[in-house]
Structure 1
Amino acid sequence: MLVGLAGGALVLGGVAVAVARSGGSSPEPLPASLPSSNASAIPSAIPSAGPTQGSGSPSSSEPRPLPLSAPDATPAWSVTVDSVPTALVASDKVVALVTEKSTSFLDSAGKPVFTPLKVGNLSSSFRALTAFADGVFYIAGVAQKGSVRTLGAVDAATGKTKWVVSVEDSAGDIRNVPAYVGVGGGKVYVGGSYAGSLESDMIGYIRAFDIATGKEQWQTKGSDINNVLVPPSGRYLLAGSGKVREKTSQVLMIDPGKGTRGWKKSVPLAHYGQAGLPLTSYADGLFICGREKVVAVDQATGEEKWHLAAGPDQPDVRFGTPIPSTDGKTVYIPVGQDLVALNAADGSVKWMAVLPEHVTFTASSGLGLGGPGALCSADTVFATDSTKTLWAIDAATGKARWKYTDPGQPDVGFTWTVGGDRAWISSNLTMTAISAHG
């Protein structure tokens, strides 16, 4: 229930958490004294929730957890491909399938299009080496001629290569391991680390390339750069770092102009030492990060705007990777079997959805292993769970539209992506497309 102008409390799977708006100093989390969720009392529609007057009595605007239940999805099509994709990236009309040796393309009907590229995945263990923005695919991989590691820009409408550059280390360090590609602000970025570094002195890096020509603009490296977030519309980058044996990680703002460092902030128990998929997010001008406590901070100053935290009697609660909506107005936070939708601007709760008992969202692990745990289209939240099921959830209400279970997926999670209004799923040699609306 929401309990005052400074913040509110809600129950996620029996765990009470506090939502607090900040005005300079951070309000303390509220006590974990609320009862467990009662599924039978959940209304069929969840009203928008904002701060309410009063001392803590239940409000009619209080969002109650909505159990996720939906019919099985009806795929638009499934086709057999020649090689198992290790990475996928999609526009609204075409999906690129990156395998160990090449990259091929399917259109929205599942038909092969374009000439395959002789560029394969750098490693089957990395699934974040592709990106799509403004009609262009960006693919980091290994060119078969000479096994040179490259970054290429491919026109998603024609399949024609716009430019290709080497991402071999300019200083000749062969330990350079690219792990992430992101696009924003007229640049495409490659983030990674140096293989073989001791965990105690892990060195990460960011390299920035001009989006039109592929010319390198700058590069920076250090032990304070491991997990990199490139917001598609934000003004800054966010780099995370941390060590497994230490309880505190750090986030660091990076100015994309020249790669200079800005503010930095400690984030308890976040474990941002892993290069690859971003474990932080950006929405409505705010960076959103944290596992023990989710904190939303101003992108330019690092000033806290709101936070989401468990009560003092729930010290072991961990929040998953925040997932922003495509318009940046909403952020979705997984907490075990629950998914809570928050207004990005102030942290107020829009709705809560809950999986069946003993099932958890993949994104709630907050580790970024095995591909994305959740992604958004314009009006749908897609999320995978621990039973190898993909859910399509209405972004406005929190109601599930459909579910798709695939026992053939790897234990660490789905190989999948979202493009336009559909989910594209790879399962061994089968590619499947499902419309967001079933």
Structure 2
Amino acid sequence: MQPLDGMDPRQVGPYTLVGRLGAGGMGAVYLGRSAGGRAVAVKVVRPELAEDTEFRQRFRQEVAAARRVSGAFTAAVVDADTEAALPWMATAFVPGLSLRQVVERHGPLPVATVRTLAAGLAEALGEVHRAGLIHRDLKPGNVLLALDGPHVIDFGISRAADAGGLTTTGSVIGSAPYMSPEQALGEPLTPAGDVFSLGSTLAYAALGRNLFGEGAGAAVLFRIVNTEPDLGELPAELRPLVTACLAKTPAHRPTPRQLVAHVAQSGHPTDPDGWLPPAVATEVRAVRAVLTAPPAPPPMPPPAPSDAPIDQPPPARRIGRRTLLGLGGAVLVAGGAGTAFALINRDRDRGSSTGKQTAAPPVRPSADVPEAVPLWQNRDANLPCVQLLSLDGVVVGITPRQVWAVGGDGKPKWTLDAGTTGVSFALGSGVPTPVAGFDGHRIHLAGLGSTGVPGSMATLLLAIDPAEGKTDGKVTLDQPHAAGVLRFAGIRSGTAYVIGLGQGQHQDGSNMWAIDLAGRRTAWFHGDDALLVEAALLPGSDRVLVSTADRLKAIDGSGTVTWQAGIQSFGIAAGGGWFLTPDKEGTLTALDPATGKAAWNVRGITTPRLGGSAYAHGPDDSLLHCQWTDADGEFSIGAVDLKSGAPRWKTPLPPDGNGIGNGAYGADLLHADDTLYRIGRDSVVWALDPATGKPRWKYSGYKGTDPATLTWTAGAGRLCVSAPKPSILTALPAKAS
């Protein structure tokens, strides 16, 4: 979700807009909340179209028709104002994953799931057609997979574009791989066109690829119009249904009602409550847990140095910004946007980039520093990665479906596919999230896998030999309602710490395991009714700090909560014998791990970006490198004495450009090989002297990319950075010549 900028409205009707979900030719879609906390997707028409009288009239007609669509498998219209200066429509917000995302992450869906998908989508199209609408853009990105069944979104709005010259006879609108032949030819459309798109969408779900191939849109449309698709790889049970939908002649295609009857006659579809594969259902359940919670209250201020922690029962469960980020990529899809996004709260956007400053802006050095030359680049690695690990001469990347390794020269060494292990390697997606750790001998990877009982899944910790990529043991995390791993917190003294979803009594709660790696058993378990967002491990100690949306808890080596405090934190850490917690305004406070009392604080720290780290520890754990937000909106880099909190040095950085992450930007720092690395707001990568902050080199190869999509690791004299767009892994020298 993109932050709001100066061009975006902040309030539409009764809805406060939180962020922008997506934009297209008609306008933009925003995440909105009512005064009562209800989440909706708000579509706002572009200003130039709002001034078009004929367009506005068609929009009125379209909203009136869309209100009549009320089927179980569509996202209903809940509010609209067609007479506003900028006409808008609000639709229900559906917690789910897009079909495209699920297939990209988990591969083709089982036959039973596709049959339920077919029945649900056909029923949804029936409702759309009965309302006098034609969807025109049914595709995997516009299909949500929710726990209660599939949902069709983004229906009908394209019809409002028929006026004003936006679409006329002979024009082609829609997504090429899922168009019908008549749509590809620009001919008048009928509801049968949606049925053809349904057939292509079902084929994608069953095969994991576009039925009519890839390439330029014109080439795909040519194949749709002039060739018969090869359905030989489709499961036999699905072939008749898909074949009927893909008839070239519209009159030869079945109606949605006939499709529902076909599925029912050939065997009842799966019970919608259990229709999704377990790994997919786990991710959807994580999304639902966030969405159904009320918003968090305003953050509490950090304790003064003399304050003791608030030792009282935790308040009613509230989910706030840190909980949303803590899902590590679990996504919501707007029931009208068709856009998957990692949630970012607008309060965090303000706090991370516009901390309160009163000093005059500093004089900035020039950005004219040497441009680093990559050691190598790999465009074949399975990206995007949720995590990269640097293990001596090997770089390991982790995606939901594969773990891979490349050598120091960038050439592949081994791959481990999820299919061969029966384990889904990462719950989160789209945002860098730690899901594995390294203890010097083995990679320990958290995931969701089969227990050996059909249809039963369990949370697992998988051990992988980094030299050859072979698995050599796993631990099943022993709680009956564990439903997946949100975050691998780290390894200390042979114990791995993992935050998971679901706990002993409450499916929507979360938990933390401490796992004895040598004994392959659970050392202790902490279940919580609230969602645990993240954890900080204290070096040289068995104490752990965990955070919920608005509370901190310290846990000792037996799993006992020793103290808790009502503090809303934005990126907890540990170092120098302290637990470290910043608030949204950038005040970093050090807490005594034994009592929770505040020892010192530093103001103006830039809080972490989504998936990033606001701090980089020096090699001896006496210094903490941080980034400050200055009065001019730019940044300085510096080091804090971890014993006293006193700044050791602070240096202004060259100005960042305005990147995609501008406004939602937060810090991301990394220290290795006597080099301090930083990702700028514009995704320019900087190498800095860790003693002075002076830039050594920069790399602009990812400039313009959203920094929240970058994943990186450092060690063995190099920095490795991956990005999904363009899909590339780049190795940069720690000290450029």
Q: TM-score with structure 2 length normalisation?
A: 0.44
The alpha-carbon deviation at position 172 of structure 1 amounts to 3.1
The alpha-carbon deviation at position 265 of structure 1 amounts to 3.3
- Aligned twin of 1:289: 581
Matches within 5 A, 1:10-409: 34-39=359-364, 70-87=369-386, 88-114=388-414, 116-118=416-418, 120-125=425-430, 127-142=433-448, 149-167=459-477, 170-174=479-483, 176-194=484-502, 203-222=509-528, 223=530, 225-242=532-549, 249-255=550-556, 257-267=557-567, 270-271=569-570, 279-291=571-583, 292=585, 293-309=587-603, 319-320=607-608, 321-336=614-629, 337-357=635-655, 359=657, 373-405=668-700, 406-407=702-703, 409=705
The alpha-carbon deviation at position 408 of structure 1 amounts to 7.1
**C-alpha contact 1:319 1:333 (8 A) present in aligned 2:** no
Q: Which one has a larger percent strand, Structure 1 or Structure 2? A: 1
**C-alpha contact 2:367 2:655 (8 A) present in aligned 1:** no
Alignment CA distance shift 1:423-1:360 (3 Å) = farther
Determine the C-alpha separation between the residues in 2 that align with 1:173 and 1:133. 24
The alpha-carbon deviation at position 416 of structure 1 amounts to 1.7
The alpha-carbon deviation at position 382 of structure 1 amounts to 1.4
The alpha-carbon deviation at position 390 of structure 1 amounts to 1.4
Determine the C-alpha separation between the residues in 1 that align with 2:659 and 2:690. 16
Determine the C-alpha separation between the residues in 2 that align with 1:301 and 1:139. 33
- Aligned twin of 1:61: none
The alpha-carbon deviation at position 79 of structure 1 amounts to 2.0
Determine the C-alpha separation between the residues in 2 that align with 1:348 and 1:364. 30
**C-alpha contact 2:563 2:596 (8 A) present in aligned 1:** yes
Secondary structure of the structure 2 residue equivalent to 1:412:
helix
Alignment CA distance shift 1:148-1:298 (3 Å) = closer
**C-alpha contact 2:659 2:683 (8 A) present in aligned 1:** no
**C-alpha contact 1:78 1:431 (8 A) present in aligned 2:** yes
Alignment CA distance shift 1:117-1:125 (3 Å) = same
Determine the C-alpha separation between the residues in 2 that align with 1:376 and 1:162. 31
Task: State the AA in 1 paired with 2:400.
Answer: E
The alpha-carbon deviation at position 36 of structure 1 amounts to 3.1
Q: TM-score with structure 1 length normalisation?
A: 0.70
Determine the C-alpha separation between the residues in 2 that align with 1:253 and 1:400. 38
Determine the C-alpha separation between the residues in 2 that align with 1:205 and 1:401. 43
The alpha-carbon deviation at position 347 of structure 1 amounts to 1.6
Alignment CA distance shift 1:307-1:228 (3 Å) = same
List gaps (5 residues or longer) in structure 2: 1-303, 309-355, 609-613, 630-634
Deviations 1:403-438 (A, max 9, x none): 122147445241222234321112334222112112
Determine the C-alpha separation between the residues in 1 that align with 2:436 and 2:520. 15
- Aligned twin of 2:732: 434
**C-alpha contact 1:362 1:413 (8 A) present in aligned 2:** no
Q: Which has the higher contact order (CA 8 A, sep 6+)?
A: 1
The alpha-carbon deviation at position 385 of structure 1 amounts to 1.6
RMSD over equivalenced CA pairs, Å? 3.6
List gaps (5 residues or longer) in structure 1: 1-21, 40-65, 243-248, 272-278, 311-316
**C-alpha contact 2:416 2:470 (8 A) present in aligned 1:** no
Task: State the AA in 1 paired with 2:512.
Answer: I
**C-alpha contact 2:723 2:729 (8 A) present in aligned 1:** yes
Determine the C-alpha separation between the residues in 1 that align with 2:469 and 2:600. 43
Query: Which one has a bigger Cα radius of gyration?
Result: 2
Determine the C-alpha separation between the residues in 1 that align with 2:464 and 2:660. 31
**C-alpha contact 2:427 2:447 (8 A) present in aligned 1:** yes
Determine the C-alpha separation between the residues in 1 that align with 2:660 and 2:439. 25
The alpha-carbon deviation at position 366 of structure 1 amounts to 9.3
Deviations 1:265-290 (A, max 9, x none): 3435x35xxxxxxx211111111111
The alpha-carbon deviation at position 71 of structure 1 amounts to 1.5
Task: State the AA in 1 paired with 2:645.
Answer: G
How many residues align structurally? 358
The alpha-carbon deviation at position 123 of structure 1 amounts to 3.4
Alignment CA distance shift 1:360-1:25 (3 Å) = farther
Task: State the AA in 2 paired with 1:182.
Answer: G
Task: State the AA in 2 paired with 1:221.
Answer: G
Determine the C-alpha separation between the residues in 2 that align with 1:304 and 1:135. 37
Secondary structure of the structure 2 residue equivalent to 1:83:
coil
Secondary structure of the structure 1 residue equivalent to 2:708:
coil
Secondary structure of the structure 1 residue equivalent to 2:401:
coil
